[in-house]
Amino acid sequence: MDTTRPNDNKRVRAEPADFETAISASGFGLFNFILLLAAIPAKSAVIFQTTTMSYVMPVAECDLKLTLLDKGVLNAMTYAGMITSAIFWGYLSDTKGRKNILVFGYIADAVCVLCSAMSQTFEMVAVFKFFGGFIVNGPGAVLLTYVTELHGNKYRARVVLIIGVITSTATLALPALSWAIFPQEWHFVISENFSIHSWQIFLAICCFPSLMSGLLFTIMPESPKFLMSQGKNAEALLAFQKVYYFNTRKPKSTYPIKSLVEEVPSRDGNINESVYTIEAKANTLTQRKHRNGLEALRDGLQQMKPMIRKPLLGHSIHVYTMQFCLLLGLNTIRLWLPQLFASIAEYEALNLGNKSSSNLCTILEYSVNKTATAVINYPETCETNAHVSMDMYINNIIVAVATLVGYCFAGSIVNLLGTKNMLICGLFISGACGLSLYWSSSGLTTLVISSLFIAVCSVSTSTLLSVIVTLFPTTLRTLVVSCAMMFGRLGALSGNMLFPVFIEIGCIPPFLMVGLVLFCAGSLACILPSPKKTIFI
């Protein structure tokens, strides 16, 4: 018995292994824990970059002299930067690797966040939020691909949901952090044209997750799946051995896989077509190490050809439209919630004896009129230190906790329902919640509906990304995720620009917009193709 085991091991080691076999042999343990630990500040950095202004606006309204439209612009500027950089980052990560993008991208984002914290005017904040979005879009999109490529099929779906849990935890941290900082009477005058307020200190602290992420990823290996797709099997084997060492605490030399398969196109026809792989170019890339800008651009365009050809063109348009609708609905409500809760708390404090009239439409009308009056009468109507009710922070924390519970619940039922069915149900439920906000009759009702809306819609976002990853080949996944997120962020930008405009028109238009786009996404989810019918490499 004992004598056959070494022979079996030799046979296994001598046989080239594919990626799934190799990653399974590396085990699951300490490395995966460290990877998910590193993902916490990484995902938090993206959430902080896109969400901090929604908490800053009620406090910095006077300091930055914000109109209602200005608030929409500040919420949208990060997404504008993300939209302009999507294809650029997708190409770099699919040709230059995941690790470098994560390291340098997060460090550069930390610099942008710090610059926005030092800004003194609305225009300065808007510019640095744009550049912050431009930069963080790269590592933000690569993170999901990188984490999933370091897990086998057995753990991949659950890992995506864990990233969702991290997202909701980061969302929970923001109101808690703002609650700790904003009530402080911090106001430092450095010079006549430069002063520091509590909201600027809040933004400065928010740069630490980005800085921490950039430093943590320096010790992580490159994605072995990416290395294999580039024909760098020797480097990929070293990455597998590193994962194996951390997970099993055994010497790297005992890793049972000694060679990896050479990844080649699996189709018989059009074998030179770059739609399915760029591994066929491995030799060319090796020989031409020093490419000029024109050659790099040509390779990038060649890599993007599959996105405008069947069968991937139809899949791309399908998921991009869903992502646009989903993030338009989610991020419009999510980013305006702190402002809505602040207005609700202020209105109910002024109308203690008339709670029955504190429906959301009445409060929105009050908030619009107050902002318009403040704009006309600056600076007389502005307080030196803006005070926001504690209810605003508590309500946002409750919404974040509800989202965290939603992710945990979804993780327990995803295998039972299946990702597609869970996505369909989530989109229709969130659409109904978004529309029902119009009939909210009190602050408590608004809190309950918005908590359910954000929780279900956030889970649906992670579920859709999980589906996207399974529908496209490895060498295009980051590009596809980047493009999908670009359309999603275009939706977020559109929603945040339209929301203040619709609010000034009336109460029903903004909520009707949110409900309809999510119903549209739910309808499209019903006809999503099965991953089993798609072609991967």
For the CA atoms of 346, 349, 355, 357, what is the dihedral angle to 10 degrees?
-40
Coil/strand/helix, residue 17 = strand
- 356 phi/psi in degrees, rounded to 5: -65, -20
Task: Tell me the two tokens of residue 132.
Answer: 């912050």
Q: How far apart are CA 252 and CA 240, in angstroms?
A: 9
Residue 67, CB-side half-sphere exposure with 13 Å CA sphere = 12
pLDDT tens for the chain, 537 residues long, are 433 344 444 444 557 777 888 888 888 888 888 888 889 999 999 889 888 888 888 888 877 888 878 888 888 888 888 888 877 776 777 677 888 889 999 999 999 999 999 988 889 999 999 999 899 888 887 888 888 888 877 787 778 778 877 877 887 888 888 888 888 877 777 877 788 888 899 999 999 999 999 999 988 888 888 888 777 888 888 888 888 888 888 888 888 888 888 764 443 333 333 333 333 333 333 333 444 445 555 665 566 666 666 667 777 888 889 999 999 999 888 888 888 888 887 777 776 555 555 677 777 777 777 666 665 655 555 655 556 677 778 888 888 888 888 878 887 787 777 788 888 888 999 999 989 888 887 778 888 999 999 989 988 888 887 787 777 776 676 677 767 877 888 898 888 888 888 888 888 888 999 999 999 999 998 888 765 544 443
Q: How far apart are CA 467 and CA 151, in angstroms?
A: 16
Q: What's the pLDDT at 415?
A: 73
Answer whether 385's CB lies under 8 Å from 187's CB. Answer: yes
* 194 DSSP 8-state letter: E
- Domain 19-225+310-533, CATH homologous superfamily name and number: MFS general substrate transporter like domains (1.20.1250.20)
Q: How far apart are CA 214 and CA 3, in angstroms?
A: 48
Q: What's the pLDDT at 391?
A: 77
- 7 phi/psi in degrees, rounded to 5: -65, -40
- What does pTM read for this prediction? 0.73
Q: Looking at 76-206, which runs of residues are DSSP E strands?
A: 187-191, 194-197
Q: SS3 sequence, 473-484?
A: CHHHHHHHHHHH
- CA neighbor of 76 nearest in space, from 100, 109, 53: 53
Provide the residue ranges of all domains of the chain, joining segments of one domain with +.
19-225+310-533
- CA neighbor of 516 nearest in space, from 432, 457, 440: 432
CB neighbours of residue 30 within 10 Å: 14
For 472, residues 6+ apart whose C-beta sits below 8 A from its C-beta are 312, 315, 480, 534, 536
DSSP letters, 157-186, are: HHHHHHHHHHHHHHHHHHHHHHHHHTTS--
Instruction: For residue 196, list its beta bridge partners.
Output: 188
Q: What's the pLDDT at 288?
A: 38
